[in-house]
Amino acid sequence: MWWLIPAALSVFGAVKQYQAGKEMKDLAGRQEQQAAQNRELEIQQLAENVRRQDIADSRLRGSAMAKAAASGAEVTGSVSDYLGYIESEQSLEMQWMQRAGKTRADLNYSSGMSQAESTRVSGKSQQYAAFGQAAGAFSFLDKGGFLGGTGGAATTAGAGAGFMTPPSTPSTGFTGKGFRF
């Protein structure tokens, strides 16, 4: 009956490993939700930053126009060119801010989704490993004759030869100078 201890430990480990895999798959779902929420938040922050920048740009253009008008200069020629230049640069900067912000949000979303997928795959892997570990437990049970067998699946396949043999069974293998290898 000595073989019941490793079989029980193997089943217990398999159950815990399966549960850990399930938790990892659940975590992957939460990571996907968080990635989507983070992306939405970044898009909202971008829209607010663009709005604030547009207000600041309008104030700057208005201030430049007011200063030109207060000085008595007509808003033509170089003053008009300068105001046009400012507006053009501000427009280019606004377009860049929108593109960069959207790209950053998309990259962060992709990164979060990749992390979620990695977690999901790890969870599945743990669950599959748990099935293998449970199968090993049944092999131990079969080895003891519990399931009506005489050698177990592992021994029949040639795996585990000499593994978990009772102390009264001699081990095969090279021995030399009193040591077993």
Is the pTM here over 0.75, yes or no?
no
| 154 confidence band (pLDDT: 50, 70, 90) | very low
Residue ranges per domain, the chain? 4-163
Spatial CB neighbours of 129, under 8 Å, sequence gap ≥ 6: 17, 21
In three-state secondary structure terms, 76 is coil
Secondary structure class of 37 (helix, strand, coil): helix
pLDDT computed for residue 143 by the predictor: 59
| DSSP at 145 | T
pLDDT digits (tens, 9 = 90+) for 70-117: 887 776 778 788 888 999 999 999 999 999 999 999 999 999 999 999
Show the tokens assigned to 156: 């029949």
Q: Rounded to an integer, what distance in angstroms lies between the CA atom of residue 30 and that of residue 2?
A: 44
How confident is residue 150, by pLDDT bands cut at 50, 70 and 90?
A: low
The size of the chain, in residues, is 181
Residue 164 banded pLDDT, cuts 50, 70, 90: very low
Q: Directed axis angle between helix 4-70 and helix 77-143, to 10°?
A: 180
Contact 109, 38 (CB under 8 A): yes
- Please give the residue that has the higher pLDDT: either 136 or 88: 88
User: Which one, of 36, 37, 45, 34, lies nearest residue 98 by Cα?
Assistant: 45
Q: How many CB atoms lie within 10 A of CB 52?
A: 10
